[in-house]
Structure 1
Amino acid sequence: MPSDLISMARSGTRAARTALEITSNNIANASSEGYVRRSVSLAEVAVGTVSSTPTSINLAGVAVAGIVRNADQFRQGEVRRTGADAARAAAEVQGLENIESAVEQTGVYTSIVDFEAGLQALLSDPTDGPLRAGVLEQGRTLSETLNVAASSLDAVGDGLRFEAGEGVENVNRIASELARVNLRLSRASDASSDQTAQLDQRDMLLQELSQYVDTRISFAPDTGVVTVTLGGPSGTDLVNGGTTRSLAMATAADGTISFSLDGTPTAISSGQLAGKSLSLTQAASTRAELDAIAAEIVTTINAAQAAGVDLDGNPGQPLFSGTGAADIRMIAANGAAVATAPAGAGANSRDVSNLEAMRSALSAADPAGDMDTLLFGISSAVAGRRVTRDALDSIASTARVALQAQAGVDLDQEAVNLVRFQQAFEANARVMQVASDIFDSILAIR
Structure 2
Amino acid sequence: MAADLLSIAKSGAAAARTALDLTAQNIANASSEGYVRRTISVSELSANSVSSAPTAVNLAGVRVNGVVRNADVFRQAEVRRTGADAARASAEVQGLENIESSVEQTGVYDAIVAFEGSLQQLLSDPTDGSLRAAVLEQGRTLSETFNVASSSLDAVGKGLQFDAQDGVDEVNRLAGELARVNLRLSRASDQSSDQTTLLDQRDSLLEQMSKVANVNASYNPDKTVSVTIGGTAGQTLVSGGTTATLAMATAADGTISFTLDGAAASISSGALAGRSQALTQLADTRGQLDTLAAKIVDVVNTAQANGADLNGNAGQPLFSGTGAGDMAMIATNGSAIATAPAGSAANSRDPGNLTALRNDLATADPAGEMDTLLFTISSAVAGRTVTRDALESIASTAKVALQAQAGVDLDEEAVSLVRYQQAFQANGRVMQVASDIFDSILNIR
TM over 0.5: yes
In the alignment, the residues of structure 2 paired with residue 313 and residue 159 of structure 1 have an alpha-carbon distance, to the nearest angstrom, of: 50
Displacement of 1:71 in angstroms is 0.3
Q: Which amino acid aligns with 1:437?
A: D
User: Stretches of 4+ moved more than 3 A in 1?
Assistant: 52-57
Out of 193-202 and 55-64, give the one that drifted further: 55-64
In the alignment, the residues of structure 1 paired with residue 106 and residue 310 of structure 2 have an alpha-carbon distance, to the nearest angstrom, of: 32
Q: Retained in 1: the 8 A contact 2:309–2:337? A: yes
In the alignment, the residues of structure 2 paired with residue 302 and residue 207 of structure 1 have an alpha-carbon distance, to the nearest angstrom, of: 57
Give matches, 1:328-339, under 5 Å: 328-339=327-338
In structure 2, the residue matched to 1:170 is 170
Q: Which amino acid aligns with 2:73?
A: Q
- Percent sequence identity over aligned pairs: 71
In the alignment, the residues of structure 1 paired with residue 353 and residue 372 of structure 2 have an alpha-carbon distance, to the nearest angstrom, of: 28
Q: Deviations over 1:58-114 (max 9, x none)?
A: 100001100000000001001000000000000000000000000000000000000
Q: Deviations over 1:371-396 (max 9, x none)?
A: 11100000000000000000001000
Report the TM-score when normalising by structure 1: 0.98
Displacement of 1:367 in angstroms is 0.9
Structure 2 residues without counterparts, runs of 5 or longer: none
Displacement of 1:442 in angstroms is 1.1
Displacement of 1:49 in angstroms is 8.6
Structure 1 residues without counterparts, runs of 5 or longer: none
In structure 2, the residue matched to 1:31 is 31
Q: Deviations over 1:403-432 (max 9, x none)?
A: 110000000010000100010001011111
Displacement of 1:246 in angstroms is 0.3
* Equivalent position SS for 1:237: strand
In structure 1, the residue matched to 2:394 is 395
In the alignment, the residues of structure 1 paired with residue 81 and residue 147 of structure 2 have an alpha-carbon distance, to the nearest angstrom, of: 41
* Equivalent position SS for 2:346: coil
Q: Which amino acid aligns with 1:275?
A: G
Give matches, 1:351-366, under 5 Å: 351-366=350-365
Give matches, 1:278-293, under 5 Å: 278-293=277-292
Q: Which amino acid aligns with 2:146?
A: L
In the alignment, the residues of structure 2 paired with residue 354 and residue 413 of structure 1 have an alpha-carbon distance, to the nearest angstrom, of: 87
In structure 1, the residue matched to 2:185 is 185
In the alignment, the residues of structure 2 paired with residue 56 and residue 370 of structure 1 have an alpha-carbon distance, to the nearest angstrom, of: 92
Q: Retained in 1: the 8 A contact 2:49–2:57? A: no
In structure 1, the residue matched to 2:118 is 118
In the alignment, the residues of structure 2 paired with residue 278 and residue 134 of structure 1 have an alpha-carbon distance, to the nearest angstrom, of: 41
In structure 2, the residue matched to 1:68 is 68
Cα separation, partners in 2 of 1:53 and 1:115, compared to 1, 3 Å: farther
In the alignment, the residues of structure 1 paired with residue 444 and residue 182 of structure 2 have an alpha-carbon distance, to the nearest angstrom, of: 62
Q: Retained in 1: the 8 A contact 2:248–2:258? A: yes
In structure 1, the residue matched to 2:368 is 369
Displacement of 1:43 in angstroms is 1.1
Report the TM-score when normalising by structure 2: 0.98
- Does structure 1 residue 304 correspond to structure 2 residue 303? yes
Aligned pair count? 444
* Equivalent position SS for 2:323: coil
Q: Deviations over 1:290-336 (max 9, x none)?
A: 00000000000000000000000000000000000000000001110
What RMSD, in angstroms, separates the aligned Cα atoms of the two structures? 1.2
- Does structure 1 residue 157 correspond to structure 2 residue 134? no
Q: Which amino acid aligns with 1:205?
A: L
Cα separation, partners in 2 of 1:435 and 1:55, compared to 1, 3 Å: farther
Q: Which amino acid aligns with 1:314?
A: N
Displacement of 1:233 in angstroms is 2.6
Q: Retained in 1: the 8 A contact 2:150–2:325? A: yes
In the alignment, the residues of structure 2 paired with residue 228 and residue 234 of structure 1 have an alpha-carbon distance, to the nearest angstrom, of: 11
In structure 2, the residue matched to 1:82 is 82
Q: Deviations over 1:347-373 (max 9, x none)?
A: 000100100000111111111111111
